[in-house]
Chain A
Amino acid sequence: MISVHLILFLAFGAVCVAGAISLLAQTHPINSALSLIAVMAALAGEYLLLGAEFVAAVQVIVYAGAIMVLFVFTIMLLNAGVEERTKGSRVAILFGVPGILLGSILMAWVVLRHSGTESVNIGVIPGQTAGWGDPGAIGQLLFHEFLLPFEITSVLILIAIMGAVVLAGKPAASRTSPSPQVAPGKKVS
């Protein structure tokens, strides 16, 4: 019997697969970015099916919202056009696509064969009345067991912000050139 879960999984999975293939096939970066946004939105649906509501919300807000906006912004800032095919990319297509296809088929075969049809346990844990995967439980885990990694993450973000400002800031030539700090004719005491 086909359950609603399976139908929803297949629907979101089809969007994921179509988006991923579209990312591969498109030649213009903005189209690739939009198909990646579709993949991320469909993945948020998959997370909802797995009972991870908070992760789904963060996926939409952070990934599809913040990160992809950054990507689209950069594509438009740099006025990226249609990419050109070169000798190297043709060789990569020739060897890369069959190799990866073969590898993923092999992996799918192994996974499907050896894990059987055991279903993912979604829902309430026996003996526990509260819902599983709610933000409160994640927060408890994040701020107790994973407190140190969480704090280190904030340092990482800070370093990334500073790095982005330094790298994308003014070009080095204009930064090192002497700029007049005081107006001419004015005496510095």
Chain B
Amino acid sequence: MVPLSYYLVLSGFLFACGVVAFLIKRNIITIFMSIELMLNGVNLSFVAFAAHWHALAGQVFVFFVMVVAAAEAAVGLAIIIAVYRTRETLNIDRVNLLKL
């Protein structure tokens, strides 16, 4: 059997990798993907705790996180397309004004 703490450490590592990628990446799409990585790390700890405490609600929360991630991906990628259309770049350093 695998201790719960191993799952938590893996989940924390994935979250930390997501944070680092969020900080050092300069491509908007990659930054967006690092947010997905963070959500995945949180999902893993949700499922691990759900299995540990036999609380099925943890798995239901994972579904809600996935739904929010799907909605976020749809809207966020649409925003990225709109930004690219006006700025002609995906570099986050060049997108420094909310104004068009």
Contact = CB atoms under 8 A, between A and B. Distances in A.
Interface in B41-100: 43-44, 47-48, 50-52, 54, 56-57, 59-60, 62-64, 66-75, 77-82, 84-85, 90-91, 93
A16 B14 contact: yes
Interface of A: 3, 5-6, 9, 13, 16-17, 20-21, 23-24, 29, 32-33, 36, 39-40, 43, 46-47, 49-52, 54-55, 58-59, 62-63, 66-67, 70-71, 74-75, 77-78, 80, 83-86, 88-89, 92-93, 96-97, 100-101, 103-104, 107-108, 111-112, 115-122, 125, 132-133, 137-138, 141-142, 145-146, 149, 153, 156-157, 159-161, 163-168, 171
A166 B78 CA distance: 8
A58 B54 CA distance: 20
Chain A CB within 10 A, most for which of B5, B26, B80:
B5
B57 A121 contact: no
9 contacts: A23-B37, A43-B40, A52-B50, A55-B59, A78-B84, A107-B12, A120-B2, A168-B78, A171-B85
